[in-house]
Every structure is written in structure tokens, then in C-alpha cells.
A and B are shown apart, each in its own frame.
Chain A
Amino acid sequence: MEARDEPAYLSPDVFVPALQATDKWEAIHEILGHFHGHPHVKNLENWEADVAQREKLCPTVLRPGIALPHARTRAVSQLAWALAVSPSGIPFDPDPSAPRARLIILVGTPPSRVKPYLEFVSNLTRWFRSGTPALDQKLEQNPELATVLSELRGAEHPALSQAI
């Protein structure tokens, strides 16, 4: 399967507007729970184990307030990802004084698809940095996400891109 084009990066397979979890292992488990029956997911337990193993190797804090738990795993047939918002924040960073993650992006990709994976992560990071019309649309559809992003970026919605 070819890598998705850019608009597709703005459409997570799963969107969790309000996570209940209080630590990262619960958060990963809770997010993955939303993938039940997803056509790209072959084995949820294995995916969770692989994400956890990767998380143990090195924390996946993308930036203060954002976590990117991810893994290359045979448990998915294609790249699959979820966007979750935690109103209270989750301590992804081992440093207790570090800001809690309020936005969690969970990604799984088949082991053979390294390039699409890197492209996805690179585009995702850029997506948060420079706005696009598609982002604006996405934020209109998901007020929770818009609020969290605004807070994280210190910007007012909908002019996130101009604030950076």
C-alpha cells in the first residue's frame, strides 16, 4: 500500500476527545481499545505490547504537552493512528516536573514500511507547526482538539498557523 497523501494525515483512524486514563500505560490501553474491529488491526494485544516495549526503551514525548507513543508492529496491516486528548494530562515524561501530555498521538505501522512511517511522523510534526486549510477544517470538527492545540501552542483558534 502506498503512503497516504497529506489530507489523510489529518484524519486519524480514531479520535478520543476525552481520555479517562491517568498514566501512560492506561492511556495506551484505552486508546487501543477504540480500535476494536478496525480493518487494519490484526492483533490489539501485540500492538499494545510493541508500543509498550518501545515506550520502555525511550519515552516518546514529542514536545512539552504532546506524546507520540508508536511502534513498528506486525499487529497492523497498514499504518493506523489515533489522536487523543486528555483533559487532565498524562505523565509520559519520566521527569515528574515535566508538563503532562494533553495530546496523545498513537501510531502503529507494519515493520516493512519504514519510509511511509518516517514520512508520516515528519508530516504530522509539521502539521502541528504550520497550519493548512485542512487543519482549520479539522479543528472546526473537533472543538476539544482545537482547544488543546490552542493551549499547547499558546495561540487562539482558528488562526493557529499565523501564531507560529
Chain B
Amino acid sequence: MKTRLFKEQGPGAGLIGRLLRLRFWIAEALHLGEQQTILVVAALIGLLGALAAHAFRVASEFIHWALTGQHTGHVESFARLAWWQCLLVPAAGGLCAGVILSLRSKWRSPKAGDYMEAIVLGDGRVSFRSSLIQSASALFSISSGASIGREGPLVQLSAMLASLFGLGKNTPAVRLRLYVACGAAAGIASVYNAPIAGALFVSEIILQSIAMETFGPLVLASMTATLTSRHLTGNNPLYSVALPQFSEIGWSELGAYAALGLIAGVAAPMFLRILRLTRTGFQKTRIPLPLRLALGGALVGALAILHPEVGGNGYSVIVSILRGNWMVQTLLFILLFKVAATAISFGSGAVGGVFTPTLFVGVSLGSVFALGLQALWPTFAAYPAAYGLVGMGALLSATTQAPLMAIILAFELSLNYDIILPLMAACVLAYYTAKTFSIRGVYASATESTANLSYERGLASGHVAQLMKPNPPHVTLVSPFSEIVRIFVAQRFNSLYVLDSRKRFCGAVSMHDVKEFLHAPDLSETIIASDLVRNDFPTIRPDASFAQALESFSHHTGERLPVVSNDEHHQLLGSISKADLMLALVNIRQRRSDPPPQPAA
């Protein structure tokens, strides 16, 4: 009987071998590494964010129907409801929102409750329970007609999902923060159908940096979110306005737009001060939270009896104002009532954003300004809608202290390029004018919080251990070639760390060395890791500074470095990636370039 000394290769071995080689060739040719992984995750987060935004929108419409019996928007609903219903519906919604919100104090979480805090100061962990409670509370406030925007809870939900997604991947804090930022960008992009503004909102306001290490993933997340959102709800600009070419608007009016910018720059600190004073006033009443929100709802309802336009976030009214045919007196009243309603909703503690109400106030301000000009000089300001759009951008620029984002958002909301020049002039002037009042931007309190600085302080001192990802893929010296191949196929790393029987780091097997032999059954048991390990593979200590890590990476072509213990045991503790190090350095740089906090306006 003949003895077979060697295994035959399977019938598909050649094909499988070629496919394996193709897979590794593609990976090497495209340099698919950590940074590319971040981009892919960012795109997935964008998708998740858009789906969350859509789900919130549907839920909000359902609750609105349940409370009012109407399938219309808030303004139309308030116009159709009896006066007592106008009082009762927002009061009941506020009560429900307050009851839900009071659960937050019972379920305290060490994680950041707010996505901005998680990105700017925290470790990227956004509290799941707190986010759900806030979103549920916001659902009732918004659906019952509170003068507050949906963008706040939507962005919070999207950021929370991004945090959960990242946590599931055992992600280092510095990268988790970026993922949460991607979630926030996706939220904004899907709410406003504005992909560039979504990325810029996070870059300019929260990260305060447009470094490509962070901006690239933000752009991808925004883009995916917008594409998904457009697929679900249609591809129309949020505020479609028909404007003539700028040459027809006239260069002579550029001065008028600049004046509008100055007015918006003065109005912004007043608007923010009113919001903060109202919140302080409500807090001083010491009314329990559910009753406070119910009272806030009832007061907004009372204003809506007189002017239903103040209800809700004001989207339909903005559209109507931009289409024109409004009397200046009516607009002025609505402007004042809207500011009051937003201050009441915000002040009573309703969860939501002031972004859309700011757009409302801005568009009203711009339109009132245009109508005023028309009254003085009938040939002037022939297109009040253009002033409305510019006013919207200018007030947003001043309140958020983010002129670039405001310019892009106002452009993306209308998709009208002819407005871009007056918009730029007004936004920049509004920004600088507001700054002279030592304004604290609408998001300043979140980004200047000192409640959770522990991670941020640690990052500033900058040690490798903070960025270390534990338990990297590894084999032992006696692991067979077949196991090495299996891990290389399953993972996308270029180096596989090798440990001895005492878990001491011995070196690494390079994918480059073995890629041509991935389907060589002859080697599967003959060769072990010890035969392949490169003992001169660089390592880094957990207490090494970021500067030392950067220096080590400058001499190493790989994307990861093994972190080994300081003692003589040289044990493998984890690995640090170049992408995470770069993100940390970007964070440190932007923190150091921050101006000291300004006193409150």
C-alpha cells in the first residue's frame, strides 16, 4: 500500500490562493490602515445618524398627532385649535417632558450627558440613558409646540449612537471623541440637509479646528447622513428662495447688507442675554421641573393664541417669510413674540435646540430691515427674501460665534449662490460686532464646562498609556503558520505581535514577509512564528510622552507600535496607532490655541 507523505492541495487551492494574494495586494496598494478605518466608521456613523434623525422626526409627528389630532405643522395646528386647547396641549406636553426629564437625576451616569461635553472635555462616552431621557423629553416638548428646535435632541441621539458604535469596537478615547463628533455632524447634516455646514458646525464650534485628521471623517459622516436623509425625505433645499442674480440685486446694496450684519451683531448678545435671563428667572422660581415645563408650555400656548406662528421651531413661518408678502408691523410682532416664546421654552428647561429659533429670529430681523429700507427708499431692497436669508446667516454667525459655518449653512439652506457675497459680508461683520460685546456663544457653556476635565487634563500631559488599545492581535512563538495566516486574513494589520510563553514581547511577524505564502499548505505545520519573527521590531513604553511616540513613529513605517511594560519582563500591554496619536496631538493643539474664557455677557 502506498503511503502519501504529503497532503494534496485542494481543488480550489489555486483560486483561493490567488484571491488571498489579491486581497493583500489591494490592502497594501491602497494603504488601508487606521485612518481609512476611521473614514469607513465615520461613513457608517453618518448612516446611523440619519436613520436616528428620521426615526425622531416620525415619532415627533406621531406624538403631535396624538396631542392635537392634526397632521399639519405646529403653526397650522395652533391656528385650528380652540384657545383652551392652545393652552392645554403645550402645557400637557411640557408636563410629560418634565416628568421624563426628572428621571435623569435618579439615573445619574458617570458618562457625559451632553455630546459636546463628551467631545470637548470627556472621553467620548455619551450616556445612553441620559441621551434617551433627553430625547424622549424633547419629543414631548417639541411635538406639543414648544418654541425650540429639533436639532438638539437629534444631534444628541446621533452622537450617542456614534459613541455606542465606537465603544463596541474597544476604541481609544481620542478616537471615540472623533466618532461622537462625526455623529453630531451627521445629526446637523441630516436635519438641515446641509452636509458642509454639518461638518463645519462641529469643526468650528466644538472642535475649534479644521485639521484634516478630524475634518475628513466629519465630512464623510455629514455626506453619508445627507445622502441617507435625502433618500428618505427628498432632495430639496430646506428654504428654497427664488432670487435674482447678485448683479441685479446691486452692488449699491452691499452697504445695506453690511448694516444688517452690524444690526445682527448687536441683536445677538441681546437675544442670548434674554435666553439666559429667562432661564435664570425660571430656576429662581423653584417650581418643580415638570410643573415648570408645563408652565412654560402654557405661556407659549398663550402667545400662540395671539400669534400661532410662534409655535414649534418655526420652519413653515421661515419659508413663508422668505416667500414675501408680509406686513412690516406683523413681522415685527412675530419677531418679538418669537423671541419671547423661545426664551420661555428655553428658560423653562425644555430640551431642544435654539438653532432653528435663531434662524427664525434672523430671517424676521432681515425681512423687517428690508421692509424698513423699502419704506424709506422705495427703490431699495426690492428682494426682502435676500435680506431674510442674510439676516438668518448673520444672526447665526453672531450667536454661535462661527461665521464660516453660518455662511455655508445659509447658502446650503437656500442653495442660492447669488446670495453668497452679501452673506459673507454680513456674517463676518455680525461676528466681529458681537465679539465687541464680549459675547459668549450659544454653545459656550457646554464647551467651557469644567465639570469633567479629568480626561482633558490627562491628554495635555500626553502619555502613550492614554491612547493604548489593549489586547492587540498576537501569537506565541510556537503558533503554527496556519494560525498566523488565519489572523492576517481576519485582521487588517500589517504586523502580528509575537509573545513567548511568559507573555513577553519577542517581535512581530510582518504580513509583507508571508503574503506570498498565504495559501501554502506545505508550510502550515512546518513553520511556526519563531521562524518568522523579526526581533528588531520597535516598541514603546506606556509612560512615553506623545512627543516620544511621534519620534518613534517617524522611524517606523507601520501604523501601530506595541506598548510594552517598563520592567524587565517586557510584557505586551497593548498597541498605539499613529492615527490616534495624530488625533490627540490635534486636540492638544486646538486646546492650547483656545483663548481664555470670556466673562459672561
Which A residues contact B (CB, under 8 angstroms)?
54, 57-58, 60, 62-66, 68, 70-72, 111, 114-115, 117-119, 121-122, 125-126, 128-129, 152-155, 163-164
CB distance from B515 to the nearest CB of A (A): 9
Does B295 sit within 8 A of A, measured CB to CB?
no
Given contacts A54-B530, A118-B514, contact A153 B522 (CB under 8 A): no
A residues near B523, Cβ cutoff 8 Å: 118, 121-122, 125
A residues near B520, Cβ cutoff 8 Å: 118, 122
Chain A residue with Cβ nearest B531: A72
Does B28 sit within 8 A of A, measured CB to CB?
no
CB distance from A55 to the nearest CB of B (A): 11
Given contacts A118-B517, A126-B522, contact A154 B6 (CB under 8 A): no
With the chains together, A72 CA to B536 CA distance in Å? 14
CB distance from B56 to the nearest CB of A (A): 55
The residue from A66, A117, A129 contacting B531, defined by CB atoms under 8 A apart: A117
CB distance from B590 to the nearest CB of A (A): 43
- B467-522 with Cβ < 8 A to chain A: 477-478, 510, 513-514, 516-517, 520, 522
CB distance from A162 to the nearest CB of B (A): 11
Contact B535 A125 (CB under 8 A): no
The residue from B5, B477, B531, B535 contacting A152, defined by CB atoms under 8 A apart: B5
Contact A57 B477 (CB under 8 A): yes
Contact B522 A122 (CB under 8 A): yes
A residues near B531, Cβ cutoff 8 Å: 54, 70-72, 117
Does B31 sit within 8 A of A, measured CB to CB?
no
Does B526 sit within 8 A of A, measured CB to CB?
yes
B residues near A64, Cβ cutoff 8 Å: 3, 5
Does B376 sit within 8 A of A, measured CB to CB?
no
With the chains together, A117 CA to B523 CA distance in Å? 11
Contact A163 B2 (CB under 8 A): yes
With the chains together, A64 CA to B525 CA distance in Å? 13
B residues near A125, Cβ cutoff 8 Å: 6, 522-523, 526
CB distance from B560 to the nearest CB of A (A): 20
Contact A115 B516 (CB under 8 A): yes
With the chains together, A122 CA to B1 CA distance in Å? 27
The residue from B4, B5, B522, B535 contacting A66, defined by CB atoms under 8 A apart: B5
With the chains together, A117 CA to B530 CA distance in Å? 13
Does B527 sit within 8 A of A, measured CB to CB?
yes
Given contacts A57-B477, A118-B514, contact A68 B526 (CB under 8 A): yes
Contact A118 B6 (CB under 8 A): no
Chain B residue with Cβ nearest A64: B5
Chain A residue with Cβ nearest B509: A114
With the chains together, A122 CA to B528 CA distance in Å? 13
Does B132 sit within 8 A of A, measured CB to CB?
no
Contact A111 B526 (CB under 8 A): no
Q: Name 5 extra pairs, CB < 8 A, besides A64-B3, A117-B531, A121-B522.
A: A57-B528, A114-B510, A118-B513, A129-B5, A164-B6
With the chains together, A63 CA to B526 CA distance in Å? 9
CB distance from A54 to the nearest CB of B (A): 6
Does B532 sit within 8 A of A, measured CB to CB?
yes
Which B residues contact A (CB, under 8 angstroms)?
1-6, 477-478, 510, 513-514, 516-517, 520, 522-523, 526-528, 530-532, 534-535
Contact A62 B526 (CB under 8 A): yes
A residues near B535, Cβ cutoff 8 Å: 111
With the chains together, A129 CA to B126 CA distance in Å? 60
With the chains together, A78 CA to B13 CA distance in Å? 31
B residues near A111, Cβ cutoff 8 Å: 534-535
CB distance from A18 to the nearest CB of B (A): 21
With the chains together, A155 CA to B3 CA distance in Å? 8
Contact B478 A57 (CB under 8 A): yes
Contact B5 A115 (CB under 8 A): no
CB distance from B18 to the nearest CB of A (A): 16
B residues near A58, Cβ cutoff 8 Å: 478, 528, 530
CB distance from B475 to the nearest CB of A (A): 13
B residues near A121, Cβ cutoff 8 Å: 522-523, 526-527
B residues near A129, Cβ cutoff 8 Å: 5-6, 522
With the chains together, A57 CA to B533 CA distance in Å? 14
With the chains together, A62 CA to B526 CA distance in Å? 6
* The 10 A-B residue pairs with the shortest CB-CB distance in the complex, in nearest-first order: A125-B522, A129-B6, A114-B513, A154-B2, A154-B3, A58-B478, A63-B5, A122-B520, A118-B517, A122-B522
Given contacts A70-B531, A122-B522, contact A128 B5 (CB under 8 A): yes
With the chains together, A111 CA to B510 CA distance in Å? 13
Chain B residue with Cβ nearest A118: B517
Contact B5 A153 (CB under 8 A): yes
A-B contact list, 26 entries, CB within 8 Å: A54-B530, A57-B530, A58-B478, A58-B528, A58-B530, A64-B3, A65-B5, A68-B526, A71-B531, A114-B510, A115-B513, A115-B516, A118-B513, A118-B523, A121-B522, A121-B523, A121-B526, A122-B522, A122-B523, A128-B6, A129-B5, A129-B6, A129-B522, A153-B2, A154-B1, A163-B2
CB distance from A146 to the nearest CB of B (A): 15
Chain A residue with Cβ nearest B3: A154
CB distance from A62 to the nearest CB of B (A): 6
CB distance from A49 to the nearest CB of B (A): 14
CB distance from B490 to the nearest CB of A (A): 20
A residues near B517, Cβ cutoff 8 Å: 118-119, 122
With the chains together, A24 CA to B525 CA distance in Å? 19
Q: Which of B1, B527, B534 counts the most chain A CB atoms within 10 A? A: B527
B residues near A62, Cβ cutoff 8 Å: 526
